């Protein structure tokens, strides 16, 4: 197990280095000029050239790459043009907001998706199964932008049940920043008002994101459950007179969860990249918008740093999924 | 027990949902909340900020020697300066500061601070620095005469109107030198010290009506009132500028009353908002000009008659009515409405017959093929399509290239375009900021990018740059404009309107034609 983990971590490091090199060179060889974004359309040519020198873009690519590597070796991802702050600081600033939202969205997707999948399998072709199918279809096919605006219009504007977009009421003061995750920081500060307000603000964006994840989870649980429910050992359990609830949860679901965990892992990995559209509609200051702006303005350091972070989180989530297999199915072991 | 716990937590959760924190509502009257897209902010240091929102915020936080008061946009007035004098040759300027004015830190505003502020702009050489260095400013040229007098020596004589407008731009903000020096650090870009630039990007050291409390990118900017401001103590205690990129979301929030002002509403939203009696629309023509540039080195575009034909072929009404839904005014001048010298005279109305006749005269009776580059953001693609359609009617087939800004501007700067759809906004509040790029190719800006090397217009603009008589100066711009309209490399399209949705309980909110003239100290809440 330890050996397996060590091997995976070595692979992960190599992957990250590869991604860094590829991203860096792609960003430099594309026929785009980052200075155009930094200087804007109006700046005179002299200003553009002066800035090119100031930012070191006048140097050959290998010099720029060498400098980048040197800084990276010292734990410095460089400074972002769009914030003027070290990229690492930016990532630590924007990522917690995304992590918090993604986690709640995933919780919604799991808590609704799994029971829905199980029930659809048990009551196959019933109205509930059809409802589940429609909900999944909506979750996957509705444009996030449209769905977000419609939900906002209904629950914020018309009914007034949920608050305005944003992370916190404008009159509330953020708790002291410890983790960057508002809810956890509010708990640490013992600020109930901020905590509840934070939750209320998260419901809509988390639902929109959760609905997307839910679709995949419910469908895969349904098909895995159908597969498992036809197995001999389920029949045996039923013949033995075991309670149907126990048959479904203890015998069927646990086995059906192995493929589901893969989907959950992929969904979570995707959510952790941040969702540009959801963050835009709900004024959520997360990683998605930061990265989108970085790409659009060719903010090189932020692009490379952000891409590495996304690759890292994706790999870690996948690693966690692989380890979970062993937990769910003791027959799976990791040996050399 | 476990079950009871679950019930208890669920009940708490639901209670939390039902009771929103009403306890802060009492203070809401003293807080002005604006919803706008502020993601363009890179830094709030006056020596670096050059983006719309950043310049707008700096305006609230810093004072300058000269400034434009709220709602007045014609000429700058004395602000921190009490008086000024100039040498006979128009080169050495002295500004005497008012005594007893304090920065937010409590330090007094002195000539040392003014000199430090200008010197750091020259030293840091960042984006907006050209606004000051275009007058040949060096660090040595800025001197402290006495505690309250600062002297600036220019490399030659310049028109007073231009110089004063530049001194009232955000980059000329007076920074608390002691605070900036305390926060100086060495960085990669400035190994000899950044003169507080890193720190000032998200903190403030000004004397203005507001101080910067917080800037969280993609989230909000919080400004707190400086009730001791020497002339404009704000009417509200706090301003929160909330980042709301999505215009529909801004509209919903202003209608609900969660924000007091929704910045820049689209024309179709304005129509709906006008039905809401709690909301009024604050409108003003933005100091921006939308135009189509024509590279005169590219084939038929070299012929002035062809360029004129194109100007006659464009469907101006279609652009303004259908694409901008009326939120724009046609213009035939590079001096926008709002600046001295603006001429409310339309030279080019759509006239396809005239366009065809001109093309025939130029030797292109069946038109020709060309291409147009344009940005990817609405309404660039839509405007480009209307132009494509209109030019098609006179036989000019236009291929459209939609490009992101990192592709578009380098191509424009390298003169590699044929036609290009673009816009221009002023860098400072004087017609020279438009006249120079549009008509003087030697400034290496728009006129040069479109390869229109006309010495006559260039000469007129250079003459205007040193003309001390304002009326004569304006006349020179108008003369240059007449030539540009007749044979120049542009088709001027329109000047857009800024339309903000403002809740009725706000007093003295003035829409400004540009972020550089935006002032919030006058705004109060009933």
Strands (DSSP E) found in chain A? none
The model's pTM is 0.86
* Alpha-carbon gap, residue B404 to A41, rounded angstroms: 12
Q: What is the average pLDDT across B229-257?
A: 94
According to DSSP, the β-strands at B369-374 and B419-424 are parallel
pLDDT of residue B359: 96
Q: Which helix (H) or strand (E) holds B46?
A: none
- How far apart CA A92 and CA A190 sit, in angstroms, is 23
Do the Cβ atoms of B409 and A51 come within 8 Å?
Answer: no
Mean pLDDT over A165-192 rounds to 90
Under DSSP, the state recorded for B107 is P
CA–CA gap between residue B151 and residue B405 (Å, rounded): 40
Q: Which of B217, B193, B230, B272 is nearest to B40 (CA)?
A: B217
Please, which contacts does A15-19 make with residues 24 or more away whose CB atoms are closer than 8 Å?
Answer: A15/A311, A15/A315, A16/A308, A16/A311, A16/A312, A16/A315, A19/A307, A19/A308, A19/A311
Q: Does A42 touch chain B (CB under 8 A)?
A: yes
A47 touching chain B per CB within 8 A: yes
Nearest to B67 by CA among B145, B199, B203, B174: B174
Question: What pLDDT does B18 receive?
Answer: 44
Q: Residue B1: pLDDT above 80?
A: no
Residues B282, B256: Cα–Cα separation, whole Å: 18
SS3 B193: coil
Average pLDDT over residues B2-27: 51
Q: What percent of chain A has pLDDT over 70?
A: 98
Strongest mean pLDDT among A106-110, A222-226, A321-325: A106-110
Distance CA(A37)–CA(B403), nearest Å, equals 13
pLDDT of residue B6: 56
User: Is the CB of A48 inside 8 Å of chain B's CB atoms?
Assistant: yes
8 Å CB contact of A40 and B249: no
Q: What is the pLDDT of residues B347-398, one digit of tens each?
A: 999 999 999 999 999 999 999 999 999 998 888 999 999 999 999 999 999 9
Q: What percent of chain B has pLDDT over 90?
A: 75
A156 CB near a chain B CB, below 8 Å?
A: yes
Tell me the torsion sign for CA atoms B270, B275, B276, B282.
Answer: positive
> pLDDT tens digits, residue range A258-305?
888 888 998 898 888 878 888 988 989 999 989 988 888 788 889 889
Q: How far is CA B433 from CA B164, B436, B465, in A?
A: 13, 6, 10
Shortest Cα distance, chain B CAs vs residue A159, angstroms = 11
pLDDT over 50 (residue B524): yes
Instruction: State the best of A153, A160, A165 to mutate against chain B, taking most chain B CBs within 10 Å.
Output: A165
- Please give the C-alpha separations between residue B215 and each of A12, B200, B211, B234, B521, in angstroms, as whole numbers: 36, 11, 11, 20, 19
Encode pLDDT of A92-104 as tens digits: 999 999 999 999 9
What letter would DSSP give residue B102? B
Task: For residue A288, give the chain B residue with the closest CA.
Answer: B218
Residue among A48, A50, A282 whose CB faces B125 most closely: A50
Q: What is the pLDDT of residues B99-128, one digit of tens each?
A: 999 999 999 999 999 999 999 999 998 888
Q: In this structure, are residues B172 and B64 in contact, taking their beta carbons and an 8 Å threshold? A: yes
Dist CA B77 CA A130 (whole Å): 71
pLDDT tier at B26, thresholds 50, 70, 90: very low
3-state secondary structure of B142: strand
- Minimal CA–CA distance to B47: which of B221, B219, B214, B180? B180
- Mutation target to probe the B interface, by most B beta carbons within 10 A, among A84, A158, A194 is A84
Structure confidence at residue A145 (pLDDT): 86
């Amino acid at each position: 197990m330890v050996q397996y983990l060590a091997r995976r971590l070595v692979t992960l490091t190599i992957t990250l280095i590869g991604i860094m090199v590829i991203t860096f060179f792609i960003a430099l060889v594309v026929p785009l000029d980052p200075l155009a974004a930094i200087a804007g359309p109006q700046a005179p040519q002299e200003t553009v050239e002066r800035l090119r020198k100031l930012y070191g873009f006048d140097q050959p690519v290998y010099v720029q790459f060498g400098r980048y590597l040197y800084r990276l070796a010292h734990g410095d991802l460089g400074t972002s043009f769009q914030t003027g702050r070290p990229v690492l600081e930016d990532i630590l600033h924007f990522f917690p907001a995304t992590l918090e939202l993604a986690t709640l969205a995933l919780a919604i997707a799991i808590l609704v998706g799994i029971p829905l999948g199980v029930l659809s399998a048990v009551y196959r072709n019933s109205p509930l199964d059809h409802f589940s199918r429609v909900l999944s279809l909506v979750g996957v096919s509705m444009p996030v932008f449209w769905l977000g605006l419609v939900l906002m219009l209904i629950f914020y504007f018309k009914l007034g049940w949920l608050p305005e977009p944003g992370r916190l009421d404008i009159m509330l003061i953020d708790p002291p920043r410890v983790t960057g995750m508002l809810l956890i920081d509010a708990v640490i500060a013992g600020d109930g008002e901020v905590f509840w307000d934070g939750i209320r603000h998260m419901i809509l964006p988390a639902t929109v994101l959760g609905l997307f994840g839910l679709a995949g989870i419910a469908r895969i649980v349904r098909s895995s459950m159908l597969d498992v429910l036809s197995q001999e050992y389920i029949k045996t359990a039923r013949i033995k007179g075991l309670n149907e609830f126990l048959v479904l949860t203890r015998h069927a679901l646990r086995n059906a969860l192995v493929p589901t965990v893969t989907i959950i892992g992929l969904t979570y990995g995707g959510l952790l990249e941040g969702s540009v559209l959801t963050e835009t509609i709900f004024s959520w200051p997360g990683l998605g918008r930061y990265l989108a702006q970085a790409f659009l303005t060719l903010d090189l350091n932020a692009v490379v740093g952000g891409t590495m972070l996304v690759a890292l989180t994706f790999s870690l989530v996948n690693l966690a999924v692989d380890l979970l297999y062993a937990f769910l199915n003791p027959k799976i072991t990791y040996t050399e | 027990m476990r079950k009871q716990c679950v019930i208890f937590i669920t009940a708490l959760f639901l209670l939390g949902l039902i009771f929103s924190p009403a306890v802060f509502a009492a203070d809401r009257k003293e807080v002005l909340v604006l919803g706008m897209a502020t993601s363009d902010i890179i830094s709030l240091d006056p020596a670096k900020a050059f983006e719309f929102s950043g310049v707008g915020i700096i305006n609230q936080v810093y004072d300058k020697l000269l400034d434009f008061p709220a709602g007045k946009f014609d000429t700058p007035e004395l602000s921190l300066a009490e008086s000024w004098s100039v040498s006979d040759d128009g080169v050495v300027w002295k500004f005497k500061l008012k005594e007893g004015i304090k920065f937010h830190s409590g330090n007094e505003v002195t000539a040392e601070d003014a000199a430090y502020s200008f010197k750091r702009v020259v030293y840091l050489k960042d984006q907006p620095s050209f606004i000051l260095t275009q007058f040949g400013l060096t660090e040595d040229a800025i001197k402290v005469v006495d505690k309250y007098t600062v002297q600036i020596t220019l490399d030659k004589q310049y028109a007073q109107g231009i110089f004063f407008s530049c001194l009232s731009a955000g980059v000329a903000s007076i920074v608390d030198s002691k605070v900036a020096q305390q926060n100086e650090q060495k960085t990669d870009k400035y190994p000899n010290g950044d003169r507080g630039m890193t720190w000032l990007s998200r903190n403030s050291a000004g004397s203005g009506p507001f101080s910067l409390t917080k800037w969280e990118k993609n989230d909000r900017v919080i400004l707190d009132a400086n009730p001791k401001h020497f002339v404009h103590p704000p009417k509200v205690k706090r301003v929160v500028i909330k980042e709301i990129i999505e215009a529909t979301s801004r509209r919903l929030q202003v209608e609900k009353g969660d924000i007091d002002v929704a910045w820049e509403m689209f024309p179709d939203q304005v129509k709906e908002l006008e039905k809401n009696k709690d909301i009024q629309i604050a409108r003003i023509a933005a100091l921006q000009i939308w135009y189509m540039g024509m590279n005169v080195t590219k084939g038929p575009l070299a012929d002035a008659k062809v360029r004129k034909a194109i100007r006659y072929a464009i469907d101006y009404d279609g652009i303004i009515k259908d694409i901008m839904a009326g939120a724009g005014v046609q213009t035939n001048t590079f001096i926008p409405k709002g600046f001295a010298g603006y001429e409310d005279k339309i030279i080019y109305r759509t006239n396809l017959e005239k366009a065809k006749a001109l093309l025939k005269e130029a030797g292109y009776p069946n038109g020709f093929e060309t291409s147009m580059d344009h940005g990817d953001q609405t309404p660039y693609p839509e405007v480009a399509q209307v132009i494509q359609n209109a030019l098609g009617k006179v036989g000019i087939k236009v291929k459209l290239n939609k490009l992101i800004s990192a592709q578009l501007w380098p191509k424009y700067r390298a003169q590699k375009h044929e036609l290009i759809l673009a816009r221009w906004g002023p860098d400072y509040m004087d017609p020279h900021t438009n006249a120079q790029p549009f008509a003087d190719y030697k400034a290496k800006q728009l006129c040069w990018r479109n390869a229109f090397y006309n010495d006559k217009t260039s000469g007129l603009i250079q003459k205007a740059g040193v003309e001390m008589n304002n009326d004569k100066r304006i006349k020179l711009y108008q003369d240059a404009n007449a030539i540009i309209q007749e044979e120049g490399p542009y088709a001027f399209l329109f000047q857009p309107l800024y339309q903000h949705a403002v809740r009725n309980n706000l007093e003295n909110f003035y829409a400004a034609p540009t972020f550089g003239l935006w002032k919030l100290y006058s705004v109060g809440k009933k």
